[in-house]
Amino acid sequence: MDFAQRHNGPDAVETDKMLTTVGVSSLGDLIDQTVPEAIRFDGELDLPTALDEVEVLSDLRELAESNVVMRSMIGQGYYDTLTPTVILRNILEDPGWYTAYTPYQAEIAQGRMQALLNFQTMVADLTGTELSNASLLDEATAAAEAMTMARRLKGRSSTASTFVASDACHPQTLAVLATRAEPLGINLVIGSIDDASFDEDTFGVLVQYPDTRGVVSDHAALAQRAHDAGALVVAATDLLACTMLTPPGEWGADIVVGSSQRFGVPLGAGGPHAAFLATATANARNLPGRLISVSKDPAGNPALRMALQTREQHIRRDSATSNICTAQVLLAVIASMYGVYHGPEGITAIGERVHGHARAFGEAAVASGYTLEGETFFDTVTLVAGDGLDQLVAKALGAGFNLRAHGDGAVGIAFDETTTADDLHALTKALFGREPTGPTNDTLGSFRRSSQFMTHPVFNSYRSETEMLRYITALRNKDLSLTHSMIALGSCTMKLNATTEMIPITWEGFGRIHPFAPADQQSGYAELVDRLERWLAEITGFAGTSLQPNAGSQGEYAGLLTIAAYHRANGQGQRNVCIIPTSAHGTNPASAVMAGMTVVPVATDENGNIDVADLEAKAVQHADDLAALMVTYPSTHGVFEESIEQVCQIIHDHGGQVYLDGANMNAQVGLSRPGDYGADVCHLNLHKTFCIPHGGGGPGVGPICAAAHLVPHLPDLQPDVEADSGMVSAAPWGSTSILPISYAYIAMMGPDGLLEASRLSILNANYMAARLDPHFPVLYRGANGRVAHECIIDVRDYKDVADAEDIAKRLIDYGFHAPTMSWPVAGTLMIEPTESESLAEIDRFCDALISIREEIRAIQNGDADAEDNVLKNAPHTAMAVTSDEWSHPYSRQQAAYPAPWSVATKFWPTVGRVDNAFGDRNLQCACPPMSAYA
């Protein structure tokens, strides 16, 4: 069977049935009625013919084997690590973990939120702070987020605009900071931190601890000076180092950032990895990214949920603390489980061993006549530039080791969890011609950590693999994922994440590559990247691609920066206005603000389409300073707006560039191409259209494809603080190790399969619209009455009886995740089935919604109570429906088994409806003491 037949849900028989219901004679006719003819891509995508699953694995095997796996001791923020196999098999390779969505429906997501709470607790403990978030995209962007957070914390009335960064930070961090600072008008001063002076214009300072050369310095005095000047201290640190060194939170850092990669997450040539940002609880409301907190459910049980969402882009849009949406949940889960499995003493033992190896090496180096930088180091030894150093890197290479060659001639060697005694011997022999002797001096001195960490029982209870396996399984079993039922979240494109697509990412040839390893060791990745970039450009009708942004939000940001750089290059640097429809995803305005643009909203008309007259008026008004339009196509309302070409033309006529939000690409692949109808740059969500699994809240990949005139302004691949189009992520290719997933998908579908997938995604949505419209009116339709790949159903008429949230929670009782709630239109539900769902599953979901409509009708008729009903009390836990007392006017069976066909697929929520307000008022963002569970 072709892979396309495994990927797509409906077969030919089902397709015919659905066409009949939709009232159209063929799939071609439906597409003709849906996609405006003017923008139709009539050709065939120039992509290779589809491979089957065996062939694609063989192809990827060849690419993986073209990479060279060395013992990479480069450091610079990335350290090889051992993923415990129980975590590898039962989390990273388990679709029950990786096919879940971001935990918006808390009642069916308690498992991964518990793992994230563990992450938050572990990171806060290790960094010596009070509160950590639930992951950011990488250390460099985390540092940039900390920079803008520090400015926010100074308060609105502050005009301080200088941020000082140590030149001993990782180069990629400095590069991303420079990219981030410039459009925001932040004066980034990079220099030696010992000499740095702070004045009233300084709002923050960033130090790296240990620094990029491995040196551990005492920053307490610096922190004092900064605080005296009214500046905040940001420390970029290393979690393993924090087991042995006094952590930044204890010597004066206000915000601590870093990556958790070395806690069991493969190098992956740069990602994906979970970064973190940790701070004092008092700063919680300014925190970027997701934050998990403990609240309660109606029974008073502890219940986890995402806290303080009013900070975030989906609520606050251009006022959000960050544009981040999809984060790095799966990787944070892995890192937290690493902490649970090893415990504080296990991780410390790893730290001691790493430090011991580094010391032994350092002593051998000194005995061989070299000079070490700094007096104190943890895992990284840097040999001061001098005679013979230039040969060291080559000698190491010959022995199978990658070292770090600094620009000034110094050589760095970073030890990690995987370094064995044999490695140490081999390296020392190769470089110095001598054997290492046991390390003698403990160089940590007063830097040695004295405080305890990870004392919570969760980090001290699961040492045997049996216990660990059961803990992992118990958490996974609480979470609903694509392994259970369809997740018809509009605009999230929860399609199949095929096993064959997932297999290669844990191959050593893909996983064990350091992002800064020599290019000739990454030729497999280079080839894969090249092909994928060309395929994505072909699909979008553009000339070039950057795979660097590691989320859709980052793609938006990168695309806007590209446009801004283009304007600057054309002497139009004054252009900084970004027109954005009010229906746009919250990340759009948030990204525009981050790119230093001013957001000018444009209205939608009564049909939900961009108000072209309003757009024209605003374009004219801003003819001198219009930078860009951000448009989503098909629209966030699920419509192929007829006006798109006209809209793009208007923007171009007034000097602007068109940024297309490609979140809805699933309706376009093979049918229309942004580059053809007027867009200049677009992002794609590889974790939507191109099958990277959602991971429970990340990882994501948000590449941008751009027209030829913008390609020179795409983000750089090398750190360069002076660059005009600087890096936007820490690693050149972003989350490189998951690119094979999208590669495999495109390779196995081929041009025909991709086109068919788009056609079926449109059919599935139109079928659902046809079935549901009599019960919940479909809000917006295209010119011919068709929806695209998603549709909005209007439930507002019933809101006095049951609102969108009630319906969402009641769907859980039927075994389903809700559609997208209250976005883009408040009080409605947006449904996107994708092409991967079969007719049977789609019918079950429609049946559930129709049954809920009848439940609403019973309340409207007075046959059911207005307050004490199945919707208001949803979702119903097993504990609730088996309680000894049952006072509800409806039965337990009605509560738990609302339809006969829902019995076989029953999924129990583990908590009742979570009290969000209580959770925000009583912020608890670390694991509660065990007494809370008594």
Residues that bind other proteins (CB under 8 A): 461, 464, 466-467, 474, 878-879, 881-884, 891-893, 895-897, 903, 906, 908
CB of 922 to other proteins, least distance (A): 23
CB of 869 to other proteins, least distance (A): 17
SS3 469: helix
CB of 883 to other proteins, least distance (A): 7
CB of 737 to other proteins, least distance (A): 27
Measured from the CB atom, the residue of 222 and 337 that comes closer to other proteins is 337
Measured from the CB atom, the residue of 90 and 820 that comes closer to other proteins is 90
| Inter-residue contact 409 to 385 (CB < 8 Å) | yes
Q: How many residues does the chain have?
A: 934
Relative to beta strand 401-402, strand 71-72 is parallel
Measured from the CB atom, the residue of 384 and 879 that comes closer to other proteins is 879
Other residues' Cβ atoms within 10 Å of the Cβ of residue 200: 12
Nearest alpha-carbon partner for 738 in 703, 699, 702: 699
Measured from the CB atom, the residue of 472 and 749 that comes closer to other proteins is 472
- Which helix (H) or strand (E) is 577 found in, with range? strand 577-581
Query: Which residues, in sequence order, are bridge partners of residue 598?
Result: 577
Whether cis (ω within 30° of 0) applies to the bond prior to 740 is no
CB of 858 to other proteins, least distance (A): 17
CB of 900 to other proteins, least distance (A): 9
Question: DSSP letters along 356-384, please?
Answer: HHHHHHHHHHHHTT--BSSS-BSSEEEEP
- The arrangement of strands across the sheet holding 255-259 comes to 131-132, 275-279, 255-259, 232-238, 202-209, 162-166, 187-191
Q: How far apart (Å, rounded) are the C-alpha atoms in residues 528 and 549?
A: 17
Enter the tokens of residue 785.
């009455």
CB of 891 to other proteins, least distance (A): 5
CB of 545 to other proteins, least distance (A): 43
Measured from the CB atom, the residue of 38 and 903 that comes closer to other proteins is 903
Sequence-separated (6 or more) residues with CB below 8 Å from residue 470 = none
Enter the tokens of residue 289.
């990214």
Measured from the CB atom, the residue of 410 and 879 that comes closer to other proteins is 879
Enter the tokens of residue 157.
């009335």
Measured from the CB atom, the residue of 474 and 613 that comes closer to other proteins is 474
CB of 413 to other proteins, least distance (A): 30
Alpha-carbon distance values, 444 to 103, 210, 355, 375, 776 (Å): 42, 12, 10, 9, 67
Enter the tokens of residue 534.
């060309």
CB of 304 to other proteins, least distance (A): 15
Measured from the CB atom, the residue of 197 and 464 that comes closer to other proteins is 464
Nearest alpha-carbon partner for 267 in 82, 464, 531: 82
Q: How far apart (Å, rounded) are the C-alpha atoms in residues 208 and 256?
A: 10
| Helix residue spans in 241-328 (DSSP H) | 248-251, 313-316
CB of 855 to other proteins, least distance (A): 17
Q: How far apart (Å, rounded) are the C-alpha atoms in residues 713 and 717?
A: 11
Nearest alpha-carbon partner for 229 in 160, 147, 157: 160
Which amino acid is it at 723?
A
Sequence-separated (6 or more) residues with CB below 8 Å from residue 520 = 68
Q: What is the torsional sign of CA 72, 73, 79, 83?
A: positive
Measured from the CB atom, the residue of 85 and 319 that comes closer to other proteins is 85
Q: How far apart (Å, rounded) are the C-alpha atoms in residues 770 and 786?
A: 10
Enter the tokens of residue 464.
């045997």
CB of 351 to other proteins, least distance (A): 24
Measured from the CB atom, the residue of 78 and 897 that comes closer to other proteins is 897
The CA-based angle 543-548-554, given to 5 degrees, is: 100
CB of 580 to other proteins, least distance (A): 47
Measured from the CB atom, the residue of 65 and 467 that comes closer to other proteins is 467
Measured from the CB atom, the residue of 519 and 886 that comes closer to other proteins is 886
Q: How far apart (Å, rounded) are the C-alpha atoms in residues 616 and 647?
A: 8
Relative to beta strand 202-209, strand 187-191 is unpaired
What values do phi and psi take at 609, rounded to 5? -95, 160
CB of 467 to other proteins, least distance (A): 5
CB of 68 to other proteins, least distance (A): 27
Q: How far apart (Å, rounded) are the C-alpha atoms in residues 634 and 729?
A: 28
Query: Which residues, in sequence order, are bridge partners of residue 378?
Result: none
Measured from the CB atom, the residue of 391 and 891 that comes closer to other proteins is 891
Measured from the CB atom, the residue of 28 and 929 that comes closer to other proteins is 929
Measured from the CB atom, the residue of 463 and 709 that comes closer to other proteins is 463
